[in-house]
Amino acid sequence: MRVYPTIFRLAFSWMDAERAHKIGFRAIRLAHSCGAGRVLQKFTAPAASLQTQAFGLTFPSPFGLAAGFDKEGHGIEALAELGFGHVEVGTITGQAQPGNPAPRLFRLVEDRAVINRMGFNNDGAAAVAPRLKSARAALQRQHPGVRPVIGVNIGKSKVVGLDDAVSDYLISARSLAPAADYLVVNVSSPNTPGLRLLQDVETLRPLLTAVGEEADKAAGRHVPLLVKIAPDLSDEDIDAVARLALDLKLDGIIATNTTIARTGLSSSPDTVAACGAGGLSGAPLKQRSLEVLARLRNATAGALTLVSVGGVETAQDVQARLDAGATLVQGYTAFLYEGPFWAARINRLLAKHPSRR
């Protein structure tokens, strides 16, 4: 019997969503610090058959935790103990910033979705870098075989204008690349004004080129570089980003971030309107995220690693993304609804799936 749905229904669903997230995340970290996570790991560790190669790294599972859950690298080891093959930390910005005023995270339970306008609340690159460094060393010690991978997702500080975006991303690349297994340039959050304009290839080319060079220089090795795109891009713009990524020999594309669309929802229009502005994630994003993956797959013909994210809830969803051309798959929103053993459950079912063998 699963206990989490009852906890969610009786406790979390009545609380402010950000407060529920903080309590849940604190409990996960507590389980790690008191040693319970290490014990659990015997049951949550992905089967060896799930090991996946992507951009020169070996991942214990193709399934990982998307950016936004652990924005500042406070719980990487604890989350890895739950079975995620990678944890993408961030978005981290060059400067510390508080994000948007609360309330800024809302559940649409009927739709198994959330709307957020967090606005990149984080301690800033300089403060997060040492946490990543020590988490990396700890993962190495705690997972002597194939260890979970740390992705680092960087974005633009709100106070920095678009004209100075490149130098702001470079601050993050310089301090964070040495502790990152891979780096993601996030240009697709709807909650930082103007950010998504950086997806225009004319602007994206110099940004990705500069970040890639700076990251490799700072780390003294090649740090795989990916770009994360929005589901709201037109098909032509998706093709243009794919062409650019191939041209720049980028290591991959992550698709997709949250959407500003509000279509196909079962929640009442009043409930949705009361949430206000922000990015919608979870089940309603599933279809569009799959479409973007298919579009990218066609445009890149297998020449680029694709990471699919958006509306993934089950092992079947993960498998569908792998079958559609993704090498790695991520999820976030369903974690809030499914609870701490979500990744372990997905891994167990994936390992049983014949098409992975």
Ligand X SMILES: Cc1cc2nc3c(=O)[nH]c(=O)nc-3n(C[C@H](O)[C@H](O)[C@H](O)COP(=O)(O)O)c2cc1C
Find the binder of ligand X among 282, 325, 339, 340 (CB under 6 A). 282
Restricting to residues 175-214, which ones interact with ligand X according to CB under 6 A? 186, 189
> Which residues is 116 bridged to in the sheet?
105, 279
What ranges in 227-357 are assigned the alpha helix state H?
A: 235-247, 269-275, 286-300, 315-323, 333-338, 342-352
**67 marked as part of a ligand binding site:** yes
Contact in structure between 79 and 221 (CB atoms under 8 Å): no
Residue 71 one-letter amino acid:
K
CB of 202 to ligand X, least distance (A): 22
Residues classed as catalytic: 189
Find the binder of ligand X among 37, 46, 60, 68 (CB under 6 A). 68
The nearer residue to ligand X, 77 or 111, going by C-beta atoms, is: 111
Q: Which stretch binds ligand X (CB under 6 A): 6-14, 232-240, 297-305, 328-336?
A: 328-336
Restricting to residues 85-144, which ones interact with ligand X according to CB under 6 A? 90-91, 105, 114, 116, 118, 120
User: Measured between alpha carbons, how far is residue 176 from residues 111, 189, 279 in Å?
Assistant: 36, 20, 26
**332 marked as part of a ligand binding site:** yes
**71 marked as part of a ligand binding site:** yes
HSE toward the beta carbon, residue 48, CA cutoff 13 A? 1
For residues 245 and 234, what is the distance between their CA atoms, to the nearest angstrom?
A: 17
**Token pair of 302 as six digits:** 């297998």
Chain position carrying tokens 């319970």:
36
Residue of 162, 173, 195 whose CA lies nearest to 125: 173
Q: Does 332 bind ligand X (CB under 6 A)?
A: yes
**Token pair of 80 as six digits:** 């890895």
**331 marked as part of a ligand binding site:** no
Instruction: Walk across the sheet containing 105-108 and list its strands.
Output: 105-108, 113-116, 279-282
Judged by CB under 6 A, the number of residues near ligand X is 28
Element of type H or E holding 28? helix 17-33
Find the binder of ligand X among 242, 333, 338, 343 (CB under 6 A). 333
The nearer residue to ligand X, 67 or 79, going by C-beta atoms, is: 67
**Token pair of 32 as six digits:** 């790690």
Find the binder of ligand X among 20, 28, 45, 67 (CB under 6 A). 67
The alpha carbon of 137 is separated from its chain's Cα centroid by a whole number of angstroms, namely: 21
- Residue with smallest beta-carbon separation from ligand X: 68
**256 marked as part of a ligand binding site:** yes
Q: Which stretch binds ligand X (CB under 6 A): 35-43, 157-165, 297-305, 325-333?
A: 325-333
Which residues are CB-contacts of 184 (< 8 A; sequence separation ≥ 6)? Answer: 67, 88, 90, 151, 152, 153, 154, 225, 226, 227, 228, 254
Restricting to residues 1-60, which ones interact with ligand X according to CB under 6 A? none
CB of 352 to ligand X, least distance (A): 22
Restricting to residues 289-308, which ones interact with ligand X according to CB under 6 A? none
**298 marked as part of a ligand binding site:** no
Restricting to residues 148-167, which ones interact with ligand X according to CB under 6 A? 153
CB of 312 to ligand X, least distance (A): 5
Residue of 151, 162, 145, 116 whose CA lies nearest to 41: 145
Residue of 182, 189, 89 whose CA lies nearest to 130: 89
Q: Which stretch binds ligand X (CB under 6 A): 31-39, 66-74, 127-135, 209-217?
A: 66-74
Question: Residues at the annotated binding site for substrate?
Answer: 71, 116-120, 186, 191, 257-258
Residues engaged in binding ligand X (CB under 6 A): 66-68, 71, 90-91, 105, 114, 116, 118, 120, 153, 186, 189, 228, 257-258, 281-282, 285, 309-312, 331-334
